[in-house]
Amino acid sequence: MNLQPRTEQIVGQKEFLRNTQGMEVKTAGATLDAAEFPDGEFVKAGTAVFLDEDSGLFKPWDTDADTGTSADAKSAGLTMHDVKVRSGQNPIVGLLAAGHPVESRCTNVNSKFKEATKGRIVFDI
């Protein structure tokens, strides 16, 4: 039991969705791998992530590496809200599984991510 609760105020989260038509969110959210994100920084809403099968945690979509295999595609999505990362604490965020985001307001989205989520997440409306 945690008897030392903390409160943080998040100011100015930007809306990254174009609309809510056809929006689907992963049940129970996504647990982010805190070791893969900068400590003390916010993971912004609309950040592309995927499930690492080995650890069971979500990692950022790497725009430079070979992320984007068919295994990654099943679980790729966009974070639904801003969350602060703290060392040793894996935050849970909502995950957009299907919907219509605005690409310019998203983070780590590239052509491989678009291909991996084709038919679920639509950027070109």
Residue-wise pLDDT tens digits, 77-104:
999 999 999 988 999 999 999 999 999 9
**37 lies in some domain:** yes
Query: How much is the pLDDT for 10?
Result: 60
- Count up the domains in the chain and report the number: 1
Contact 95, 83 (CB under 8 A): no
List the CATH number of the domain containing 68. Answer: 2.40.300.10
* Domain-embedded: residue 1: no
Neighbours of 38 (CB within 10 A): 9
Report if residue 6 sits inside a domain: no
Beta carbons within 8 Å of 5's beta carbon, 6+ residues apart: none
CA distances from 77 to 74, 95, 119 (A): 9, 6, 12
Distance of alpha carbon 43 from alpha carbon 19, whole angstroms: 21
Q: Which residues form the domain of 64?
A: 17-116
pLDDT single digits (tens) 30-80: 999 999 999 999 999 999 999 998 899 999 998 766 555 555 567 899 999
Confidence band of 124 (pLDDT split at 50, 70, 90): confident
- pLDDT of 4 higher than 80: no
- Has residue 82 been placed in a domain? yes
In a domain, 12, yes or no: no
